[in-house]
Structure 1
Amino acid sequence: MATQARTLGASHYPTRIIIYGLLILWAFICLFPIYWTFSTSFKNAVNVTQGHLIPWMDFVPDWKGWRSVGLSPDTIGQTSTAREEFLKRFENSVIASLSASALAVIIGSSAAYGLSRFSYRFGPMRNKDISFFFLAQLILPPVVLAMPFLVLYKELALLDTRIGLILLYTLMVLPIVIWIMRDQFDTIPLELEQAALVDGCSVWSAFLRIVLPIALPGMVAAFILSVILCWNEYFFAALLTSTNAKTLPVMVASQTGSQGINWWSMAALSAAAITPLIVIGIFLERYIVKGLTAGSVK
């Protein structure tokens, strides 16, 4: 038996090597753009154009990219117009992303709970059709909505305002929140709410005391994914903002001039912009995975 077990284990080694090799290759493909961004922020023009990759071997790291945005060690204590602009765009991104995500989770959770617990009829549409209608909004190309939103926001005086971005981002991530939370509510036994109703709770009281704590991991996952999507959104931020409400992705894309693209400045801004998302991914990974997999097992 021991010899047979060793033989079976040895026969699995090639398969394991192939699997781990593919995983390492996939990890390299996924992480290389991040490495390239951070390394480019420490290059000068010559190193960027010649494609040097390995610091202290191919090139000597330099603070040129970070100095151009006022975030290098020798400029961090000085007055910098570029740093002030970066902090303003960073603040706009934080406010728009967090506010829109929180609003989407509140509205989306309520809609998802209704779709999970009650039966609706809107013409020929039933609950599943309504749910698919929300998901279908993601299929619509954003450029199709460019002209309607420009006209609407001009009439409502929402152009170049944070509130305009918050409302738009809420609509953008709402379908994802509804689908995630509907799966969450479907996995919660209805008997728990019925028992709470028998004990004297109202529908809202049962929702807040029983359902909401159980569905909290899904809400956290939906909130984090919404923040990431809003944080990275570029098209509508570039279309509907100009000065006051411009976000970080728009600022990153604006690092071009008559002499070409300032790769080192763009890389430094990109590195500063993706650092919060990296931190979120590292420290809140378990909440994302737990929230997204909670509805996978019935």
Structure 2
Amino acid sequence: MSHKRKLTTYVLLIVALIFICVWAAFPIYLAVVGSIKPRIETFSVTYISVPFLQFRPTLRNWIEDLRHEEIRRSVLNSLVVSTSSAFLALFLGSLAGYALARFKFHTVKNKDLTVWFLSQRVLPPVVVVIPFFLIMKTFKLLDTHLALILAYTTFNLPFAVVIMRQMFKELPDEIEEAALVDGCTHFGVFFRVVIPLAAPA
């Protein structure tokens, strides 16, 4: 009976995960399919369309849209901001996550710091809009890529810190200790030992 109950729980968990994945991917599917539909069929009665079965996909919409300079500039701006903020959040999150995973602080516990970082994800963005605007205005960064990069990095950094901390805690620390004994600094251990070990993950 216990084995049957475990099997039922496992099957229900798999079904729930599949449902969540389909639910999350469905809007993306609609956006992609809508972009490759012929314009005459964009507002067709059929809400869910299957390429090659219900219509012939085309890249004409993409080609025509990318001919406009405003759209090209918007796409380029999005790529610059998203890529830069992702790399910056990953870099800073790796440093903070490694410190929380390996070092002990005297004034505050590592677990409390981790909870504090995680709690920043709950903070509504509207709370920091006015302070952020005033800071960007003071440093004359309004309407710049850097302002957006800093904003996205600020909200993505707590998540990156928590994820990287957990990953670094799972790495064996014997190799790091051996590198320290050989005279390597903590920054050297991080960049020469820890990052290569964590890169495949």
Q: TM-score range by the shorter chain?
A: 0.7 to 0.9
* Cα contact 2:168–2:198 (8 A) shared by 1: yes
Kindly report which structure 2 residues correspond to 1:32-181, keeping only aligned pairs within 5 A, or say none. Answer: 32-41=26-35, 42=37, 44=39, 48=43, 50-54=45-49, 67=61, 71-72=62-63, 75=64, 80-81=67-68, 84-122=69-107, 125-181=108-164
Q: Distance in 2 between matches of 1:210 and 1:57?
A: 50
Whether contact under 8 Å (1:121, 1:127) holds in the other structure is no
- Following superposition, the deviation at residue 164 of structure 1 comes to 0.8
* Match in the other structure for 1:204: 187
Q: CA deviation at 1:163?
A: 0.8
Distance 1:18 1:175 in 2: 32
Query: For the Cα contact (< 8 Å) 1:44–1:62, is it kept in 2?
Result: no
> Alpha-carbon deviation of 1:85?
1.7
Matches of 2:82 and 2:10, distance apart in 1? 41
The alpha carbon displacement at 1:23 in A equals 6.7
**Aligned letter for 2:187?**
W
Give 3-state SS (helix, strand or coil) of 2:76's partner: helix
Give the distance between the partners of 1:202 and 1:193, measured in 2 at CA: 10
In structure 1, how many angstroms separate the alpha carbons of the residues matched to 2:124 and 2:117? Answer: 14
* Aligned partners of 1:43 and 1:59 also within 8 Å: no
Q: Aligned equivalents of 2:105 and 2:16: distance in 1?
A: 47
Amino acid at match of 2:45: Q
- In structure 1, the residue matched to 2:4 is none
For the 8 Å contact 1:116–1:186, the answer to whether it is kept is yes
Q: Which amino acid aligns with 1:32?
A: F
Q: What is the RMSD computed on CA atoms of the aligned residues?
A: 3.5
Q: TM-score scaled by structure 2?
A: 0.76
2:169 paired residue among 167, 186, 209: 186
Aligned-residue identity in percent = 35
* Gaps in structure 1 of 5+ consecutive residues: 1-11, 218-290, 292-298
- Letter of the 2:33 partner, please give it: S
1:283: which partner in 2? none
Classify 1:148/1:51 alpha carbon distance in 2 versus 1 (closer, same or farther; 3 Å): farther
In 2, distance between residues paired with 1:22 and 1:104?
A: 31
Distance 2:110 2:10 in 1: 44
Letter in 1 for 2:100: L
Q: Which amino acid aligns with 1:111?
A: A
**Partner SS state of residue 111, structure 2:** helix
Q: Which residue of 2 aligns with 1:230?
A: none
Secondary structure at 2:143's aligned position in 1? coil
Q: 1:162 Cα deviation (Å)?
A: 0.3
Please tell me the residue identity of whatever aligns with 1:35: Y
Distance in 1, matches of 2:51 and 2:193, equals 57
- Where relative contact order (Cα < 8 A, 6+ residues apart) is larger, the structure is 1
SS at match of 1:138: coil
Distance in 2 separating the partners of 1:23 and 1:135 = 24
List gaps (5 residues or longer) in structure 2: 1-6
